[in-house]
Chains A and B, each alone.
Chain A
Amino acid sequence: MIPYLCSTEEEQKKMLAEIGAASLEDLFHSIPRELMTHTFPVLPPALREYELLREIRNIAGRNGISPKSVSFMGGGVYEHFIPSIVPALAGRAEFVTSYTPYHPEASQGNLQVFFEYQSLITRLLEMDISNASMYDVATALAEGVIMAAGQMSGRKRCLVAETMHPFYRDVLATYMKNFDLELVILKSTGGIVPLASLEKELDDQTVCAVYQHPNFLGCLENMNAASERIHASGALFLSVVDPISLGLLSPPGQYHADIAVAEGQCLGMPPWFGGETLGIFTCKKEFMRKMPGRLVGLTTDTRGKRGFVLTLQTREQHIRREKATSNICTNHALNAIKATIYLSAMGPSGMKEIAQTCYANAQYALSQIKQLGKYHIPFEGPVFKEFAVKARNGNVPELIQALAPKGFLVGPDLGAFLPEWKNCFLICTTEIRNRKEIDELVKALNALS
């Protein structure tokens, strides 16, 4: 029987004797008797480690998917390739157990990684500055809108593409509850936001416009044209991007986004539990002092040696308190470390190859599904790694359920988000899918209708 706690009874007695307590109960003597409960729910007896593992496996086994399932699921969190070097290095105790590096003298290793993270991200997105990361894309977006609003005092309207992930919009709306800002949806047609939609709403009261590219439906928006119009009206342009797509698509720096955010989950994190997330946040130089989150800077120590520190800390709430640019005081730092290792391992050529493979796979899957004649592709425009498919004979939830035991995971059901998207679902082909798997999926889709 292997105990879970590392102190023996002998050691506990010694510790109690050292502090002058007769028993463990003694440690709670300051709690008034009347507040102590003496009835506890009846718990089953403690399990041995192997019994516990068996119990957990049984519970996990109730998941509706088999280990052999092939994921074609899209919608914001994806199964991309994770090189072994990522968990091997990120799993090191020095990284896993470190706390926030506010003491630079004890955190040079961490700080260096975050500095490299910031550098790699600015290169990937071609933006001036990146912070040391945030929780996820939705909160990064909300922080970005708040920052934009702070720059445009007097203006109150925030335009948001209908084709952005509805969950990100929900989070944004939650944050906006405490700000005097109006969220205006830019209606979409054919899977993207037409310029007319944007032009209809752009005015001198607009703080910013937010577009996701590729969008929630997998389609590519016209970011150059949107950027031009938005800037002409004096508003700021916020883009939500897919980091993996940047091996192929123009990065936000090229279409002059003022603020660009992204979900970093696809850079070396698994899609478990809805994804370990990473909020990527970048912007133009001029917003440097208004940025939320941590910033790592390069400096020299008193001996003239290179060192790294958290810098521009007066933006943060431990100094500015209620006047801080944000009250974020932690982040998903370990995920930022994973992304840094991932990007270093891939390099520019790796990123290109991955993006091209995603694109090629999606094109192949699209053409094969079209050929079946039983499914309709509702949106005509170009896509990157995922696309919408319309089931001619309704019931998408049933279709998704029918494919799962066959080992194919597709979705999400787009109709659950917007009535206009009823009967549509997403299919996503990342670089780890191959021709055989796509052929089998198409066969299974064929068998269903």
Chain B
Amino acid sequence: MMQYEIPDDLLYAKTHEWARVDNLDVTLGITSYAVEQMDKEIVNIELPEKGRIVAKGESFGVVDSVKAAFDLYSPVNGEVTAVNKSILNQPEMVANAPYTEGWMIKIRMSNAHDLDDLMKSEKYKTFLESEEH
């Protein structure tokens, strides 16, 4: 299986978003696996406005590769408190640094238990192995 960078301090969704949790603040982005699925060619990103209320499982944006468009799903209920606007003009930042400069939005979640459905890094790695077969 291809080696993907999967940081240990993050939580992961089956839809390949990662979450960095700091009390009730959650930062979201997409994993290196997702980036690889798009041949590392991300050409366009659509993100919500600050203040938007998102529901768990709801799409909060779209990321386009050359050939396909992918919805971005929020793993939690909450309010968007920050949006990384710099990636809108430089979508390649997501491909190059998906866990750092390529972060997408921050949500103030209403219920920490929403995170219970997310996977820790080891479980996500196992999940990826099954995805690849």
Residues of chain A having any CB pair with chain B under 8 Å: 289, 313-314, 319-320, 323
User: Across the interface, which residues of A come within 8 angstroms of B66, CB to CB?
Assistant: 314
A-contact bits for B59-80, CB 8 A (1 contact / 0 none)? 0001011111100000000000
**Known pairs A314-B44, A323-B62, A323-B69. 6 more at Cβ < 8 A?**
A314-B43, A314-B65, A314-B68, A314-B69, A319-B68, A320-B69
Once the chains are docked, how many angstroms separate the CA of A313 from the CA of B43? Answer: 11
Residues of chain B having any CB pair with chain A under 8 Å: 43-44, 62, 64-69
**For the complex of A and B, 7 pairs with smallest distance between CB atoms:** A314-B64, A314-B69, A320-B69, A319-B69, A289-B44, A319-B68, A314-B68
Once the chains are docked, how many angstroms separate the CA of A320 from the CA of B44? Answer: 13
Q: Distance in Å from the Cβ of A309 to the closest Cβ of chain B?
A: 10
Q: B interface, by DSSP: helix, strand, loop or mixed?
A: strand
Once the chains are docked, how many angstroms separate the CA of A168 from the CA of B132? Answer: 52
Q: Distance in Å from the Cβ of B67 to the closest Cβ of chain A?
A: 7
Q: List 17 A-B contacts (CB under 8 A).
A: A289-B44, A313-B67, A314-B43, A314-B44, A314-B64, A314-B65, A314-B66, A314-B67, A314-B68, A314-B69, A319-B67, A319-B68, A319-B69, A320-B62, A320-B69, A323-B62, A323-B69
Q: Distance in Å from the Cβ of B89 to the closest Cβ of chain A?
A: 12
User: Across the interface, which residues of B come within 8 angstroms of A319, CB to CB?
Assistant: 67-69
Select from chain A the residue with minimum beta-carbon distance to B49: A153
Q: Distance in Å from the Cβ of A294 to the closest Cβ of chain B?
A: 15
Once the chains are docked, how many angstroms separate the CA of A291 from the CA of B55? Answer: 29
User: Across the interface, which residues of B come within 8 angstroms of A320, CB to CB?
Assistant: 62, 69
Q: Distance in Å from the Cβ of B33 to the closest Cβ of chain A?
A: 20
Once the chains are docked, how many angstroms separate the CA of A22 from the CA of B71? Answer: 53
Once the chains are docked, how many angstroms separate the CA of A319 from the CA of B62? Answer: 12
Q: Distance in Å from the Cβ of A4 to the closest Cβ of chain B?
A: 43
Q: Distance in Å from the Cβ of A295 to the closest Cβ of chain B?
A: 13
User: Across the interface, which residues of A come within 8 angstroms of B67, CB to CB?
Assistant: 313-314, 319
**A289, A314, A320, A323 interface centre (most CB from chain B within 10 Å):** A314
Once the chains are docked, how many angstroms separate the CA of A355 from the CA of B65? Answer: 44
Q: Distance in Å from the Cβ of A392 to the closest Cβ of chain B?
A: 59
Q: Distance in Å from the Cβ of A219 to the closest Cβ of chain B?
A: 41
Q: Distance in Å from the Cβ of B109 to the closest Cβ of chain A?
A: 24
Once the chains are docked, how many angstroms separate the CA of A314 from the CA of B38? Answer: 13
User: Across the interface, which residues of A come within 8 angstroms of B43, CB to CB?
Assistant: 314
Once the chains are docked, how many angstroms separate the CA of A319 from the CA of B44? Answer: 14
Once the chains are docked, how many angstroms separate the CA of A323 from the CA of B44? Answer: 14
User: Across the interface, which residues of A come within 8 angstroms of B44, CB to CB?
Assistant: 289, 314
Once the chains are docked, how many angstroms separate the CA of A320 from the CA of B67? Answer: 10
Select from chain B the residue with minimum beta-carbon distance to A288: B44
User: Across the interface, which residues of A come within 8 angstroms of B65, CB to CB?
Assistant: 314
Once the chains are docked, how many angstroms separate the CA of A46 from the CA of B66? Answer: 54
Select from chain B the residue with minimum beta-carbon distance to A154: B49
Once the chains are docked, how many angstroms separate the CA of A320 from the CA of B69? Answer: 6
User: Across the interface, which residues of B come within 8 angstroms of A323, CB to CB?
Assistant: 62, 69
User: Across the interface, which residues of A come within 8 angstroms of B68, CB to CB?
Assistant: 314, 319
Once the chains are docked, how many angstroms separate the CA of A313 from the CA of B44? Answer: 12
Q: Distance in Å from the Cβ of B72 to the closest Cβ of chain A?
A: 12
User: Across the interface, which residues of A come within 8 angstroms of B62, CB to CB?
Assistant: 320, 323
**B64, B66, B68 interface centre (most CB from chain A within 10 Å):** B64
Once the chains are docked, how many angstroms separate the CA of A323 from the CA of B72? Answer: 13
User: Across the interface, which residues of B come within 8 angstroms of A314, CB to CB?
Assistant: 43-44, 64-69
Q: Distance in Å from the Cβ of A133 to the closest Cβ of chain B?
A: 23
